[in-house]
Amino acid sequence: MLRIENLKKTFPIGQGKVQALQGVSFVVSEGEFFSLLGPSGSGKSTALRCVAGLERPESGEIFIDGMCVYSSATGVSVPPDERPIGMVFQSYAIWPHQDVFQNVAFPLLYGSKGPRPSKAQIRESVLEALRLVQMEAYHDRPSTQLSGGQQQRVALARALVRKPKVLLLDEPLSNLDAKLREEMRVELKELTRSLGITSFFVTHDQLEALAMSERIGVIMEGKLVEIGEPHAVYTHTQNQRVATFLGAANTLPGRVTQVTPQATLETPLGALSVRGANGIGLDENTWVAIRPEAIMCSRHPEALPNTYAGKVTRAIFLGSFVDGEVQIREHTLRVNLNPYDDFGLGDDIYIHIPAERCQIVS
C-alpha cells in the first residue's frame, strides 16, 4: 500500500520558483494498479521520484506498506535503496557493458544494506524474475543485442527481483512502437495482477492510463484535479480541462432553462436535455461536454429529444471509424461516423445526443 499526504515540491527557475507539487494526496491500495495521468510538466514524474527517494519534497509524508519513508514533520527521509520499491525508468537504464543476468542481479548485489545473498540465491532470484517476463532464455545475452521490447522486459525483471512492496513505473512504454506498446500494455497489466503487486504508474498517454488502471488520478499544474475509476472519470468528469485532456470532447456553453425532471439548457444547438445535472440552478450559465463517440448519427430524423439536423463538413477515414464534423446552425460538432454509412462532405445528417451522455463541466 502507498499513501501520499499533502506532498509539496518546488524547483528554482531563474529568479523564481515552479510549484511542481501543490499539496498532492492520494492512497494506492494493496495490489492496486494506480495511474497518475497528466500533460508534460504537470508534476506526475516528480511525485513518482519523491516516492522513490530521488527527489526530496519540501513538506508532506509518504508511507509504503505502513512504513514512513518521508516526513517533513519528523525529519524522516529513507534513502532510495532502503525503500521497499522497484522502479522501471522511461529510458530503461540498462547497463550496456553487462549482460541480461548482470543487469537484473544489480539490485541484489548493490541495492539494500545488509548481508549479500549467496550466488545460488542470486541466480535463483534472477532467473525467477526473468521467467516472469519471459526472458529466462536470454539470461546470458549482451544487453547491446536486445530489442526495445526485450530491454523493457529486462528493466521490469530488475525492478521485480527484490520482490518490492510497490512497483514504480515512469512511462515505461513510451519508447516502444505502437504495436509493441499495445502488446506490453496487456502483458504488464496481467503480470502485475497475477503477482498482486501494488503498482504506481505515471504517464501522459490517456489510452495507457484508461486501459491499464483500476483507478486514475489526473494531475495538472501540480494539483490532483480528479481521481476515480477510468470509466467514471472518462464519462462523468465534472472538470472541463479533464474532459478535453482525456480525449476529444465537444464543449458547449449553456444556460439552464429547466431543472426538473431533468435539466434543460439553451445551447448553440438549441434546447439540450441533460441527465444527472445535480446542483445547478435555473438561469445558471454552465458548460456541457459531449464525446464524439457519444453522438448517434443517422440519415433519417428520429422523434427523440436532443435530435438535430446538420450537414457533414469533414469526413476523414481512420479505419474503424470516420472522424467527422457536423455543422448545426452556427456550431460545429465533432462526431465519430460509422465507415459503413458512407457519409460524404455536404451530406444531410441527423444527430441524436442521449441525455445521459452529456456531462456538465466547469
Per-residue pLDDT of the chain (362 residues; tens, 9 = 90+): 999 999 999 998 878 889 999 999 999 999 999 999 999 999 999 999 999 999 999 999 999 999 999 999 999 999 999 999 999 988 878 889 999 999 999 999 887 676 788 899 999 999 999 999 999 999 999 998 998 889 989 999 999 999 999 999 999 888 888 888 888 898 899 999 999 999 999 999 999 999 999 999 999 999 999 999 999 999 999 899 999 999 899 999 999 999 888 899 999 999 999 987 777 889 999 999 999 999 999 999 888 999 999 999 999 999 999 999 999 999 999 999 999 999 999 999 999 999 999 999 98
Amino acid type, 257: T
- List, by residue range, all CATH 2.40.50.100 domains of the chain: 248-361
What are the start and end residues of each CATH 3.40.50.300 domain in the chain? 2-241
Pairwise CA distance, residues 225 & 264, whole Å: 27
For 131, other C-beta atoms within 10 Å of its C-beta total 13
* Nine-digit cell string for 103: 543487469
Class of domain 248-361: mainly beta
Residues 6+ positions from 85 with CB-CB distance below 8 Å: 51, 52, 64, 164, 165, 166, 167, 168
Phi-psi region of 242 (alpha: psi -120 to 50; beta: other; left: phi over 0): alpha
Q: Please, are residues 168 and 200 in contact by the beta-carbon 8 Å criterion?
A: yes
What is d(CA 315, CA 343) in angstroms, rounded to the nearest whole number?
7
Does the pTM surpass 0.85? The reply is yes
User: In CATH terms, is domain 2-241 a member of 3.40.50.300?
Assistant: yes
Distance of alpha carbon 141 from the chain centroid: 33
Q: Distance between CA 120 and CA 82 in Å, rounded?
A: 23
